[in-house]
A and B are shown apart, each in its own frame.
Chain A
Amino acid sequence: MDVILSNNSQDPIYLQIVEQIRAQIVQGILAEGTLLPSIRSLAKDLRISVITTKRAYDELEREGYIQTVAAKGSYVAARSHEQLKEEYLRKIEEHMRSIKLLSDFLGLSEEELGMMYQLLVKGDA
């Protein structure tokens, strides 16, 4: 498992950890059933507080990506259809943000964008 914290990111530290671990789980780098490092050893390694790593793991557990077993640690959980769907929706939203940035730059209207999408759909059909 890799976690690199960025000094340049405006995101709170616990969130950076959540996003990086989540991404590795989604990409399959962290396979189902993998035992994650303890919150204490992760905290010491990254030189952050144990409260922060605990917060990150709690969030990942809330989102269903990991499961904590008392006295054993946290494991990568099996993912449900709901979660996979959410992941894809998140990806689509990210792409939409990029599209909006580009089209704002060009000054494209929503209609023009819509037409582009229609053409794409027709072209694929």
Chain B
Amino acid sequence: MEHAIACTNVRKKLGSFSLDLENFCVQKGTVHGLIGANGSGKTTTIKLLLGLMKQDEGDISVLSSSAIAQDADTRNRIGFIVDDASVPSMLNPKEMGAVLSHVYSEWDATAYSKLLTQFKLDQKKPYRSCSRGMKVKVLLAIALSHKASLLILDEPTSGLDPLSRDEILSLLSDYSKDEEHTIFITSHITSDLEKLCDYITVLDDGKVRLTEEKDALLDSYRLVRTTHSGLSDFDPEAIIAKREGEFQIELLMHKEQIPTFAEPIRITLEELVIMLAKGGYRT
């Protein structure tokens, strides 16, 4: 199995919104990040992958299973974090562990306990009384305690303080060191994805705008700064996007198309995504 996730000609319409995943894949053994604005279709994608929603057209294959909603065996091997996770919120982490040991065939109570301790979670505190950060840590502890080979995570670090985010990213990074493990993660926090991911997909208004290997993506674009009067020195065809300020203009360009007089500046994933959006996703 080469692809942990494969979506072919998938279409889902929700009112006036349409999600189109023509040929979207997540390779086994990689960390694949999905970036998109609210309403771009990220959560719909996650729901389709987890079998919580059914597509109107097309095929979805998750860990080689094409009917995930009916395939309990495969679902056993998927760890997930989604918002409004349907966990029994009056239970505390310890009780949840007891319940889940009957749900998952490969439940690892030792690993679960270790993670709860590592996260400094109060094992007797009911889930619904926990802060957002603690809730996510409980969900992550669960996801990592049943020998899952695929993690599907919808904005797992949103709302968390930098230290907690770092802790979670570190754990996810360790998880991904095993080549049998795959992570599919959506997030607004591009800096997190920049640290963790092997591949990045940008989703906009229900369509995939680009899918690229992360370092190659960041290696191919550069920012160039110029003035209003200096703008005419640049070939307009080579300018992918621009951000005009009062005193300077920032240009997004391909590395090889930058003239020798200009100073190329490496770009962060966040800046790149913003500029590409501004430029209408011309690549």
Number of A-B contacts (CB under 8 A): 46
Interfacial chain A residues near B266, Cβ < 8 Å: 7-8
B215 touches A13 (CB 8 A): yes
**Nearest Cβ distance between residue B197 and chain A, in whole angstroms?**
7
One of B90-98, B135-143, B170-178 at the interface: B170-178
B179 touches A14 (CB 8 A): no
Which residue on chain B has the smallest CB distance to residue A51? B213
One of A19-27, A39-47, A60-68 at the interface: A39-47
A49 touches B215 (CB 8 A): yes
Bound: A45/B266 CA distance, A: 21
A1-27 to B contact mask, C-beta < 8 Å, 1/0? 000000110101110000000000000
B121-156 to A contact mask, C-beta < 8 Å, 1/0? 000000000000000000000000000000000000
How big is chain A's contact interface, by range?
Answer: 10 to 19
How big is chain B's contact interface, by range?
Answer: 20 to 34
Bound: A90/B261 CA distance, A: 27
**Nearest Cβ distance between residue B212 and chain A, in whole angstroms?**
10
Interfacial chain A residues near B213, Cβ < 8 Å: 49, 51-52
Asked if A48 is at the interface (CB within 8 A of a chain B CB), the reply is yes
In the complex, which of the residues A12, A14, A44 contacts B173, with contact meaning CB atoms closer than 8 Å? A44
**Nearest Cβ distance between residue B271 and chain A, in whole angstroms?**
13
Asked if B51 is at the interface (CB within 8 A of a chain A CB), the reply is no
Asked if A36 is at the interface (CB within 8 A of a chain B CB), the reply is no
Taking CB atoms and an 8 Å cut-off, the chain B residues in 5-44 that contact chain A are 29-31
In the complex, which of the residues B30, B177, B216 contacts A44, with contact meaning CB atoms closer than 8 Å? B177
Interfacial chain A residues near B264, Cβ < 8 Å: 10
Which residue on chain A has the smallest CB distance to residue B220? A12
In the complex, which of the residues A13, A40, A47, A51 contacts B196, with contact meaning CB atoms closer than 8 Å? A47
Bound: A14/B264 CA distance, A: 18
Asked if A35 is at the interface (CB within 8 A of a chain B CB), the reply is no
A12 touches B215 (CB 8 A): yes
In the complex, which of the residues A7, A8, A41, A52 contacts B215, with contact meaning CB atoms closer than 8 Å? A52
Bound: A52/B174 CA distance, A: 18
Instruction: Sample 16 A-B pairs with CB under 8 A, ordered by A number.
Output: A8-B266, A10-B222, A12-B216, A44-B173, A44-B174, A44-B177, A47-B196, A49-B197, A49-B199, A50-B30, A51-B199, A51-B213, A51-B215, A51-B216, A52-B213, A52-B215
The 10 closest A-B pairs by CB, nearest first: A49-B198, A12-B219, A52-B215, A47-B195, A44-B173, A13-B215, A51-B213, A49-B214, A40-B177, A49-B215
